[in-house]
Amino acid sequence: MNKDLILKKIGDWNQDFSYPLFIAGPCSVETPEQLDQTVGQLVEQGISTIRAGVWKPRTRPNSFEGVGAIALPWIQEVKAKYGVKFAIEVASPAHVDEALRAEMDVLWIGARSTVNPFTVQDIADSLKGVDIPVLIKNPINPDLALWIGAIERIAQAGVSSIGAIHRGFSNFNDTKYRNSPTWQIPIELKSLFPDLPLLCDPSHICGNRDLIQHIAQKALDLSFDGLIIESHYQPDKAWSDAAQQLTPGSLGNLLQHLKTRKVALDDPELQSQLEVIREQIDHVDREILELLSQRMSLVEKVGQYKKLNNVAILQMERWNKVFQTRPEWAKSLNLKESFAKDLFKLIHTESIKKQTEVMEGE
C-alpha cells in the first residue's frame, strides 16, 4: 500500500468549502421543479454544496435509473440561481466528460464503482489533467485495501482534492442499518491517512430517516470532516430512496442539534488532566500484555504435553467452557459479553497458532 499519497485537508482544496463540509440534496434529480424547490429550501438551511444523482446505479433493472444528462442544464440553472456548488456521481468516462462540460464542482465515485478497479481506473484516466474535487465512497464490501486502491488510482491521475465517503457496508439485512457502519474500517483509513478528508453518508448507512441523527453525531464524534445527507422537499414522493430522505427543514434541525467536537485539546488544564489518565491507561495496557504473554506461555506448555501424548490441538470441550465462562466473568465486571467473546475468539486463534508451531517444531 502506498502510504506516501499526497492528500490535502479540505481547507487546502482547490476550491473553498465550509468546514465541517455539509453536503445535502436529493437522492436523484427528478424534475426541474423538484430540484429548484429542494435546493432553494436547502440554501435557506445554510447548505451551500448540493448533491444529486443524475445517473443512478440501481440493484434491479427497470427501476428508476436517474433522468440522465437532461438534468445537467437544470442543475446549471439552480447553480446560477442560488450560487451553490454541485456534486454528482460519475460511473464512467462518459459521465465524467458530461459532468465537466456542465461545470459540476465536485464528483463522487459510488460504492458500486469503487469495488471495480477497471471502472475506477477508467474514471481516473478520464480525469487526467483535470483538477476537480473527487469523493470516493467505500466499496460495498468491507475491504479497506480496495477503498485505498481507488483513492490511489484517482490521486495518481493528478487529482489533488480528494475525500473519502463512508456509506456503510452491505449486510444480509440482519441489522437495523441498511448498510452496516463497521466503524473500524473508516477509523483505520483515517489512521493510515490522517490528512484525507473523511465524510460520512448517514443516509445510506441508515436507510431510514429516523436513525440519521445518531449516525451523523457519531461520525462527528469520530472526527469525520463532514456529512453528505439526502434531502428532498417531498421525501415521501421521492422516486428513489424515499425512506431515508429528510425534508430540508428536518435536515436543518438535525444540523442545529449536532455537536461539533474539537479535534485537538486546546485547553492545557484539560490536556494535563487527560495526560494523567492516559499514563494510567499505558500502565494497564502494559499489564494486559504481560498477562497475555503469561497465558501464551501456559498455552505453549499445554501444546508440549499434547505433542508428547499425540493429542489434538483443538479441544472443543475445553474451548466451549472457556467461551462460556469468560463472557459471564466479563459481565460481572461491567464489560460487554460480546466484547469478551470477540476478544477470546482472537486469543483462541492465537493459542491454536502457537500450539501448531509447537506441534510442527522439532
Nearer to ligand ISJ, 236 or 360 (CB): 360
Name which of 15 and 325 has its Cβ closer to ligand ISJ.
325
Rounded-to-integer distance, Cα 24 and Cα 235, Å: 13
Given the complex with ligand ISJ, which of 9 and 348 has the nearer CB atom?
Answer: 348
Contact range with ligand ISJ by CB under 6 A, out of 95-103, 134-142, 164-172, 346-354: 346-354
Instruction: Report whether 233 contacts 25 (CB < 8 A).
Output: no
Nearer to ligand ISJ, 128 or 295 (CB): 295
Q: Which of 114, 213, 244, 351 binds ligand ISJ (CB under 6 A)?
A: 351
Query: Whole-number minimum distance, CB 184 to ligand ISJ, in Å?
Result: 24
State yes or no: cis peptide before 117, omega within 30 of 0: no
Which SS3 state, helix, strand or coil, does residue 301 take? helix
The kind and range of the H/E element at 165 are strand 162-166
> Using CB under 6 A, which of 5, 302, 343, 359 touches ligand ISJ?
302
Phi, then psi, of 343 in degrees rounded to 5: -60, -45
Distance CA 285, CA 266 (A): 26
Does 111 bind ligand ISJ (CB under 6 A)? Our answer is: no
**What's the residue count for the chain?**
362
Q: Specify the amino acid at residue 36.
A: D
Taking CB under 6 A as the criterion, the residue among 82, 300, 319, 335 binding ligand ISJ is: 319
**What nine digits make up the cell of 201?**
453518508
Nearer CB in complex with ligand ISJ: 38/351? 351
Binding mask 120-139 for ligand ISJ (x = CB under 6 A): --------------------
318 binds ligand ISJ (CB under 6 A): yes
CA distances from 96 to 8, 56, 99, 101 (A): 22, 14, 5, 8
Which span sits near ligand ISJ by CB under 6 A: 6-14, 60-68, 102-110, 317-325? 317-325
315 binds ligand ISJ (CB under 6 A): yes
| Interaction between residue 353 and ligand ISJ (CB under 6 A) | no
Q: N- to C-terminal Cα distance for the chain?
A: 36
Question: Which are the contacts of 173, defined by CB distance < 8 A and separation ≥ 6?
Answer: none
Listed in sequence order, the residues at least 6 apart from 18 whose beta carbon sits closer than 8 Å to its beta carbon are 48
322 binds ligand ISJ (CB under 6 A): yes
Does 348 bind ligand ISJ (CB under 6 A)? Our answer is yes
Are 16 and 210 a contacting pair, CB within 8 Å? no
299 touches ligand ISJ (CB under 6 A): yes
Interface with ligand ISJ, residue 250, by CB under 6 A: no
Q: Is there binding between residue 358 and ligand ISJ (CB under 6 A)?
A: no
Nearer to ligand ISJ, 270 or 292 (CB): 292
Neighbour tally for 201: CB within 10 Å: 27
Contact between 74 and 35 (Cβ < 8 Å)? yes
For residue 336, the minimal CB distance to ligand ISJ (Å) is 20
Q: Which is nearer to ligand ISJ, 184 or 349 (CB)?
A: 349
Residues that bind ligand ISJ (CB under 6 A): 299, 302, 314-315, 318-319, 322, 347-348, 351, 355
